[in-house]
Amino acid sequence: MKKASFHRLDRATWPRSEHFDYYVTTIKSRCDITVHLDVSRLLPGRRARRIRRYPALLHIASRAVNRVRECRMGFDADGAPGYWDFVHPSYTIFHTDDKTFSDIWSEYDEAFPVFYASVIEDMERYRDIRGVCTKAGRPPNACHLSLLPWLRFTGLARVQAAHPPFLSPLITFGRQFRQGEKLLLPLAVSVHHAAADGYHISRLVNVMQAQANTVEDWARL
């Protein structure tokens, strides 16, 4: 597996250095935004190509996270903030028999065929193994993704009291629904405010929407 480098931020020149301290020490909050992603082209497009829905969603989310530096934040061994070159998706899988979930991860690759094959292999390998984290070796450079296929939600908030703060974004997809001629999908993004602001979450969502709009360009196996 390719190893990512961690880049410590220069606190003297980092434009958000004061904002980081403010949200770590004074207003210890996350920034939670829920939108409806237009998947009118994505979901029918992946179906026509016989591509599973969840891996396709994992791909557009992982690709977006890897294009927004503020969504790849973390701490080094000394507790200093910085960012990773890239991150891997860590995601939940559901066990239909006992209604529990497990968190597994797959290696990120921007090329969809490589990414898709890796995710499918991991899903098949760990689908019958119970436990919270069933795939060992999850790297520290990971983003956290999940799917709530039973629920059409309009808001999802995360409460966290961890110290040091958990900087990686938490991204959750919901149950798609029709609104007129559009097919929409709830999308909740939660990022610690020390790492990112509404602007950065907007960039993340806009990249995901652009990926959803151009499924014909990348969804090839």
> How far apart are alpha carbons 163 and 75 in whole angstroms?
12
Q: Please give the positions annotated as active site.
A: 193
Displacement of CA 12 from its chain's centroid (Å): 29
> How far apart are alpha carbons 55 and 162 in whole angstroms?
30
Of the candidates 207, 177, 193, 163, the one whose C-alpha atom is nearest the C-alpha of residue 40 is 177
Of the candidates 160, 189, 191, 196, the one whose C-alpha atom is nearest the C-alpha of residue 174 is 189
Q: Residue ranges of the alpha helices (H) in 100-182?
A: 112-126
Residue found by looking up tokens 């390998």 in the block: 125
Residue found by looking up tokens 């009291």 in the block: 161
